[in-house]
Amino acid sequence: MTVLPLEGIRIADFGQIIAVPYTAQMLAWLGAEVILIETQERLTTRIWPPFAANEPGVNRSGGFNMVNSSKMSCTLNLRDPEGVALARRIISVSDIVVENYSSGTMQRMGLGYEDVKRLRPDVIYLSLGAFGRTGPMKDLVGFHSVINLFSGLASVTGHKGSHPRIMGGLFPDAFSGCYCILSLLEAIYHRINTGQGQHIEVAMTEALGTLIPEAVIEYTLDGTEPERVGNRHKGKAPHNVFRCLGDENWVAISVENDAQFKALAQVSGNPRWASDARFANPEARLSHQDDLEPLIQDWTAELHVHEVVCRLQKAGVPAGPVLDSAQVLVDPHMVARGFVQSPDHPEVGPRPLGAFPWTVDGGQPGIPRAAPLLGEHNQKVIQELLQVPDDEYNRLLDIGVIS
Amino acid sequence: MAGSFCARLMGDAGADVVKVEPPDGDRYRRSGPYPGGSPDPEWSGMFLYLNSNKRGVSLDIEAPGGRAVFLDLVAAADFLVVGENSSKIERLGLRREKLAETNQGLIVTSITPFGLTGPNSSYLGDDLIAISAGGMAYATPGIPDMVGDPDLEPPLRSNTDMAGYLAGVQGAVASVAALLSRKIQGVGCEIDLSIQETVAAVMPFELAHASYHEAKARRPEIFGVMPNAYLPCKDGYVVVMAVMEAHWRNLMDLAGNPDWAQLEVFSSGVERARNWDALEPLLLEWTMAHTGAEIAQLAQDRGIPCFPAYTVGQMVDSPHVIERGFLRDMEGPGGEKFNLPGYPVRMERTPWQLFRSAPKLGEHTSKVLEEWLGYSAEQLEQTGV
């Protein structure tokens, strides 16, 4: 692919923490020019761990660098009216504005959609909120855990007979980000066709709500609340993770039908399982999981996880390793597909990150570049793009408007 | 699942989506839940959810007649969305190079457990496999929840097809990006999306730990500053988050400013993390004296981010969800009222709308063949579909 799909699109990124930074990052990978507007006085991920070599530093945080790659950084003091004025000038030459401050913050700075529309009538302006920008809970402060707990996702997550658990990986942030990316691409397409910009509002709680249709249907039909079942499944058995050789190793095995179960029995050297009445068909296996799982565990516990996966997959049984995040980044399969990219960063060197989960005609649809140093592109944005003359630039620098 | 959800999102955005089902119907017609109580392929809740804003055509694409019609449909389409495993995609000849000879603009969006290329591409998978191999199961439970006893708490998935929905959204993202590319370059392309990778792609912070320092381990571990904790309360569980000093002081106010709040060992977030073993039981005295709703009310009034674990019913019935109108109102075959999750994005100019409910099996076969392919009544009869 020679021309990236978003070349020529400029984005003013007021994203905080993960969700919107992640959104703008993927658009940057797809060719958009993303100007991240940062304020020295309220840095977040830049000053949070993990740091390269465990040494703190505003350019050394993995949490920042892995959701802000391929962007430009411009540091403005948004508490100063002159800083806001510069932000408005950046917006007036941008196609898209994205933000996930708490409700009302952008408006108070004079950077809300109505203000921005006057500067740029065809602007596409996306606001993401934990609970959205309307409704009685719009002002609730909420991080990923609150969104997880409200949305019902935690309610379907947990070990058998135990309490609701919080999904890992700060999942609500990037998952909401995926809906943001989708709606922005759709809005860009609409603007190409009609010339119209628009406002887009996304609620993280609702993004998560799209994941649990069965539970919503069952509750609204007759008040049934979901049971927590660990890794088990209502229609497949065995369907769980099993310990393998070593301390922290598990294999996931999921059997959907009798043919797969027979293959599992064969591969594990227990062909008699297939003729055991307790395991003879899916219904029988579902009601005898407590008997079946320990038998499988006895087999897997003596083997390396990858050996179990290879043997089962060769026999047509769905299985996979339980990978931790370090293993994900060196997984030979994902590395071979180009999912793992290592942009070279001037201060922390090449660091692997997860790029596009898809390829286009066999290649990655865009290539991540390093995350910007704090304020790295101040001159480029303010002097080259906005044409602010030297003496004015220096004055703004001196009084801390550009910081 | 992933392919169906991806295509639905494209229908939600206004595309004319035609679902091609085998003569015995899509598997989700047999999945339920059934509002009428008994299995009915036209009333499976999951099918209704995954296939609104689509028309439906029934074809046996593995039989010669059906295959010919299918290829005609593909030749007339902008997109082909495929959600099968890679071996089946190869066997059915659904790779773009085979399909695009007469339709250079065709975009094929293929969503498979491990992708179409790479050493594991032939592997079979489902949600459990993807959540495990993508790194999410190992990372669950996630902060501020934590593993209590590693021996009793193996890696965990959610009891829903999370990876399928995630891959559906990412598949739609990839598809619209390809559409924008096609506007520039004039030709379509083949998108090869791996469900394993869609899972890994939504945990950048988890990967950052591995990339910048060290992977988080599956053991009870206190990070950074406290309290940011998931604790039992009188009627359930609650997140108590007061990592900023102002939040902490407000929280101690709520707890009646006990003497221990003044102790040197709790004097900063870092100290409170270091001495969490001593602090946790003290905080538990307070949480166990209140319901989750009380704690949320008290804390949120003072700007402290605390929140209880909601049941599905609490979410569905919350004034917030009702006022925003997030859920779709549905009615079953006997007038049974139920809801489906709605669309999480409000677009000012192109708002989500229900253009049509999910199709009945083969409902639009002749109509689509007439409209897309110009088939005459005679041709329709000959094809026997």
- Give residue limits of the domains in chain A: 10-210+337-398, 239-326
Nearest to A199 among B113, B213, B348 (CB): B348
Identity of residue A169: G
Domains held by chain B: number = 2
B269 and B368 in a single domain? The answer is no
Report the distance separating Cα A258 and Cα A273, nearest Å.
Answer: 11
In a domain, residue B136? The reply is: no
* pLDDT tens track for B252-282: 999 999 999 999 999 999 899 999 999 999 9
Pick the last residue of a domain from B278, B311, B344: B311
Q: pTM to 2 decimals? A: 0.97
Nearest to A217 among B172, B303, B340 (CB): B340
Whether B385 has a pLDDT exceeding 70, the answer reads no
In a domain, residue B290? The reply is: yes
In a domain, residue B212? The reply is: no
Q: Which domain holds residue B264?
A: 228-311
* pLDDT tens track for B329-365: 999 999 999 999 999 999 999 999 999 999 999 999 9
B23 and B80 in a single domain? The answer is yes
Of all residues in chain B, what percent carry a pLDDT higher than 70? Answer: 99
Q: Which of A97-101, B219-223, B335-339 has the lowest mean pLDDT?
A: B219-223
In a domain, residue B193? The reply is: yes
* pLDDT tens track for B39-62: 999 999 999 999 999 999 999 999
B298 and B354 in a single domain? The answer is no
pLDDT of A3: 82
> What's the whole-number mean pLDDT along residues A31-35?
98
Q: What element of type H or E holds B253? A: helix B245-254
Give the residue on B whose Cα is nearest the Cα of A138.
B320
* pLDDT tens track for A199-250: 999 999 999 999 999 999 999 999 999 999 999 999 999 999 999 999 899 9
B184 and B264 in a single domain? The answer is no
* pLDDT tens track for B124-150: 999 999 999 999 999 999 989 999 888
Average pLDDT, chain A: 96
Q: Which of A141-155, A381-395, B126-140 has the lowest mean pLDDT?
A: A141-155
CATH topology of domain A239-326: formyl-coa transferase, domain 3 (3.30.1540)
List of chain A residues whose C-beta atoms are within 8 Å of the C-beta of residue B178:
5, 360
B42 and B177 in a single domain? The answer is yes
In a domain, residue B318? The reply is: no
Tokens coding A365: 């649809």
pLDDT of B217: 84
**Contact between A210 and B344 using a beta-carbon 8 Å cutoff:** yes
Predicted ipTM of the assembly: 0.98
Q: Among residues 40-79 of chain B, which lie with CB inside 8 Å of chain A?
A: 45-46, 49
**Contact between B312 and A145 using a beta-carbon 8 Å cutoff:** no
B110 and B25 in a single domain? The answer is yes
B122 and B269 in a single domain? The answer is no
B171 and B303 in a single domain? The answer is no
Whether the CB of B206 is below 8 Å from some CB of chain A: the reply is yes
List of chain A residues whose C-beta atoms are within 8 Å of the C-beta of residue B171:
358
Nearest to B239 among A146, A240, A353 (CB): A146
Cβ-contact B28, B168 below 8 angstroms: no
CA angle in degrees (0–180, nearest 5) for B124-B125-B130:
145
CATH no. for residue B305?
Answer: 3.30.1540.10
Architecture of the domain delimited by A10-210+337-398: 3-Layer(aba) Sandwich (3.40)
A137-166 burial by CB neighbour count: b if 16+ within 10 A, else e?
Answer: bbbbbbbbbbbbbbbbbbbbbbbeeebbbb
List of chain B residues whose C-beta atoms are within 8 Å of the C-beta of residue A142:
305, 307
**Contact between B173 and A325 using a beta-carbon 8 Å cutoff:** no
List of chain A residues whose C-beta atoms are within 8 Å of the C-beta of residue B329:
none
Which three-class secondary structure state does DSSP give residue B240? strand
B63 and B93 in a single domain? The answer is yes
Domains A10-210+337-398 and A239-326 share a fold: no
Q: Which of A300, A359, A364 to mutate to test the interface with B (most CBs of B within 10 A)?
A: A359
List of chain A residues whose C-beta atoms are within 8 Å of the C-beta of residue B302:
none
B268 and B375 in a single domain? The answer is no
In a domain, residue B219? The reply is: no
B190 and B232 in a single domain? The answer is no
**Contact between B136 and A67 using a beta-carbon 8 Å cutoff:** no
Pick the last residue of a domain from B311, B342, B373: B311
pLDDT of B214: 87
CATH no. for residue B72?
Answer: 3.40.50.10540
Q: Å from B383 to nearest chain A CA?
A: 34
Pick the last residue of a domain from B311, B338, B363: B311
Q: In the A/B pair of chains, how many CB contacts fall below 8 A?
A: 505
Whether the CB of B234 is below 8 Å from some CB of chain A: the reply is no
List of chain B residues whose C-beta atoms are within 8 Å of the C-beta of residue A197:
349
In a domain, residue B316? The reply is: no
B177 and B94 in a single domain? The answer is yes
pLDDT of A1: 47
Report the distance separating Cα A391 and Cα B23, nearest Å.
Answer: 74
Burial class (CB in 10 A: 0-12, 13-18, 19+), A322: buried
pLDDT of A310: 98
Give the residue on A whose Cα is nearest the Cα of B210.
A326
* pLDDT tens track for A321-364: 999 999 999 999 999 999 999 999 999 999 999 999 999 999 99
